[in-house]
Amino acid sequence: MEIGMKKMTGLSFEQALERVPELLKTEGFGVLTRIDVKDTLKQKIDVDFRRYTILGACNPKLAHQALGQELGFGVLMPCNVVVWEGDDGKAVVTAVDPMQTVAAGAQTMRPLVEEIRTRLSRVIAQV
C-alpha cells in the first residue's frame, strides 16, 4: 500500500531537507515543526534509525478556510512532509495525500482538499 505522495530523488538527504521548505514556500506553506526522528528514537528508546525528518507544513490561508468549514479539520493539520535517506543514500520525499486522510463523505471539503493535494503534488514533483 502506498501512503501519501512519494518521490525518490537524486538528492542527498541534506539537499532535500534544504530544498523542500523552499518549495513549500512557493505554494504558500511554511514549516511549523521539524521532527528529527533518528535523534528522537535514539534519545527516547536508544535505537538507531536512518536519517528521517518530519516537516509539519501549513498554508495559513487554506488552514483558515478549512477550519472555517469544519473545526474538526485541525486533527489533520499540519500537512506532514517526510524526508528520509533511502538505502542508496538518496533522499525520498513523501507528502500527506489529503485525499487519503479526509473521509469520502466530507463532500463539502472536497474542493479545498483537492487544492491542498494539488499544491503538495507540485512540491513533490519539483523535488
Q: How confident is the model over 68-80, as pLDDT tens digits?
A: 998 989 988 999 9
User: Residue 33, Cβ neighbours under 10 Å: how many?
Assistant: 11
Q: What are phi and psi of 43, to 5 degrees?
A: -70, -40
Q: How confident is the model over 27-46, as pLDDT tens digits?
A: 999 999 999 999 999 999 99
Q: Which three cell numbers stand for residue 108?
A: 463539502
What's the rounded mean pLDDT across residues 101-112? Answer: 76
What pTM was estimated for this model as a whole?
0.91
Q: Residues of the chain with pLDDT > 70: what percent? A: 97
Give the model's pLDDT for residue 95: 97
The full DSSP string for the chain is: ---SEEEEEEEEHHHHHHHHHHHHHHTT-EEEEEEEHHHHHHHHH------EEEEEEE-HHHHHHHHHH-GGGGGG-SEEEEEEE-TTSEEEEEE--HHHHS-TT-GGGHHHHHHHHHHHHHHHHH-
Domains along the chain? 5-126 (3.30.310.70)
